[in-house]
Structure 1
Amino acid sequence: MTERAGLSREEAADLTRATLETLGDRLSAGEARRFALQLPEPLRESLSVRDRIEQFGLHDFVARVSRRTGLTMQETERGVRAVLTTLREAIPGDVFDNAMSQLPAELQEMAEPMA
């Protein structure tokens, strides 16, 4: 993940936690729980389960992660892509796909491998 994002190890860890926190803002409680169960223990608490789903698109997603990390929007967008791509590889396909289906298409595309 650090190589994909071009960030230091600490920045990559912060970015991963912030991306998961922001996913928690966007996913239903059930999907967030299923997704969190697939994460390593230290990351599970980053994916908060919320009672209410917030609706926002890619720009706002990246902006929220940027605010949580202090990284620039460009660094954050590259990092979010790296985190989502890494999660796609690590999380069972059905769990990942069900969670991503709750996101706008432009955000789902961030999880696709870059050509």
Structure 2
Amino acid sequence: MDFDTFLGEVQQRAKLASQGEALRITRATLTTLGERLGSGEATDLAAPLPMEIDRFLTEAQSEQRIDYDEFVDRVADRASTDQSDANFYAQVVLDVVADTVPESEFRDVRDQLPSEYDNLFKLLSSENY
């Protein structure tokens, strides 16, 4: 999936007015996820993503042990939105990521996160993840 298609999917699924807003929530979500994942896992997840956004995962200071509430707070702060919207936006971004990367890679990400992060994957339609 290319950059414009990825952002278009985020924009459509999150019902945003512009691709700029889609980029803002994508950056907020992937940067925060990159902080939570181990650096190797962040790099693996980033590899199949468009090069314009893969850096959000790989340039973050990885392996921070943040709980899910802190994750949502960071996304909200970076996206300049409230926690409820940040939670939904993060779910949307991860839903698009799941459609972009190999299933096994996405499963590795889910396996690295504690069960309190299950809400992040709430929108996924497939039971395979």
TM-score where L is the length of structure 2: 0.79
Task: Rate the CA distance shift 1:112–1:92 in 2: closer, same or farther, 3 A.
Answer: farther
Moved over 6 A (4+): none
Aligned to 2:45: 35
Structure 1: gaps (5+ residues): none
Q: Gaps spanning 5+ residues in structure 2: where?
A: 1-9
The equivalent of 1:82 in structure 2 is 92
1:5 aligns with 2:14: yes
Match of 2:36 in 1: 26
Contact 1:14/1:69 (<8 A) preserved: yes
Instruction: Give the total of aligned pairs.
Output: 115
CA distance, structure 2, for counterparts of residue 32 and residue 114 of structure 1: 20
Once the two structures are aligned, what percentage of the paired residues are identical? 30
Greater RCO, CA 8 A, separation 6+: 1
How far apart are residue 105 of structure 1 and its match? 1.7
CA RMSD of aligned residues (A): 1.9
Q: TM-score, normalised by structure 1?
A: 0.87
* 1:36 to partner: Cα distance: 1.0
- Whether the 8 Å contact between 2:28 and 2:75 is mirrored in structure 1 is yes
Per-residue CA distance 1:40-99 (angstroms, 9 max, x = gap): 110111112567511122211110011111111111111011111111111101111111
Match of 1:101 in 2: 111
C-alpha contact (below 8 Å) 2:31/2:60 kept by paired residues: no
What amino acid is aligned across from residue 15 of structure 2 in structure 1? G
The letter for the 2-side match of 1:6 is K
SS of aligned partner of 1:101 = helix
Deviations 1:92-112 (A, max 9, x none): 011111112111223234224
1:58 to 68, 82, 103: 68
